[in-house]
Amino acid sequence: MREFLRFTSIDSPSYGERAMAESIRRSFDPLGLLLSEDDAGEKLGGNCGNLYGFLDGDLRAEPLLFSAHMDTVEPCRGKCVVVRQDGRITSGGDTVLGADDCAGIAVILEALRTIQENGLRHRPIEVLFTVSEENYCQGAACFDFSKLRSKQAYVLDLAGPVGGAACRAPTVLSFTVTVRGKSSHAGFEPEKGIHAIAAAARAIGALPMGHVDGQTTLNIGTINGGIATNIVPDRCVVTGEVRSFSHEKALELAEEVKQEFGRAAEASGAGIDFSVRCGCRAYETPLSHPVAQRFRRACDGLGLTPEVQSTFGGSDNNVFSEHGVAGLVLATAMNDCHSCGEYTDLRELSRAAELTISLMTSET
């Protein structure tokens, strides 16, 4: 898995994936899989677009899409990759490792190389390496899905041991509320002001935080307001998110947030501006679907225990589902993602490649 070590050594923050993309191109070209780049970078203000490629197969079977993302969460610059004697791979401790999602990229590459070197018959294969996945799947949302031939996908982007997979993920809505009050001197005439932070606090105190029900969560993430301790603040900006396995419930809760802030602001004479953005939309792939059944058979053939479950994190699979592509998100031995304690394991990476080979060479 030398490619994994090479990929993780590359700085590839969201909107800055160019070096990663060029390394991926150089790795895949010898396999006869030429990757084309779209204009997602231009649309998003980044320096790189999504990479797409198609490899014809020699099995009479429908094509399958295999996907991973090229960007890495911060802190990801100047990574120092450490390979422990027991096979565990970590960063130096002051950055993320980048297994999320260099593991997915390396596993797809290793699987295709093994198939080619051993002359294995395989089905038609599409690959898509996306940009800006960590920012609510923006890169995948820019992709032209009319190019895609596959109706089924495996997205290699899930934490945990190989054999795990996600078949359901939530809608993720991010919202911003700006409370508009009125400034005044806090010592001489505070009664002439309208305290924007106080109005925001009343709204937040009235809202249910955390698990709203078994399917839905609400969180206030940031609060910013005021310019000095002796001025009644005339502005407070609050951001948060709603997640739900039900898209309709997510929308209803976002509307409740808006209404609660509106009531709190009105009670003190303030006003609000409210905006909401859908980062990704909920989906569920039935366990009876061929994409799930094929995964189970592949696991059984390798002696792996398949564990198909829900995840409360979004991925490019949310976007694929919106475009009629049914998929699973596969675990690729990444652990403690989005932290400087992130790690993976050489043996598990090899197992992930074996599983991917089995899927690529499946006749059904």
Active site residues: 71, 133
What sign has the CA pseudo-torsion 291, 294, 298, 300? positive
Tell me the sheet residues that pair with 277. 174
Single out the residue of 158, 256, 166, 169 nearest to residue 206, CA to CA: 256
Q: Which two tokens stand for residue 338?
A: 């989005």
Single out the residue of 132, 150, 133, 6 nearest to residue 66, CA to CA: 150
Bond into 30 cis (ω within 30):
no
Q: Which two tokens stand for residue 178?
A: 């700006």
Distance of CA 111 to the CA centre of its chain: 23
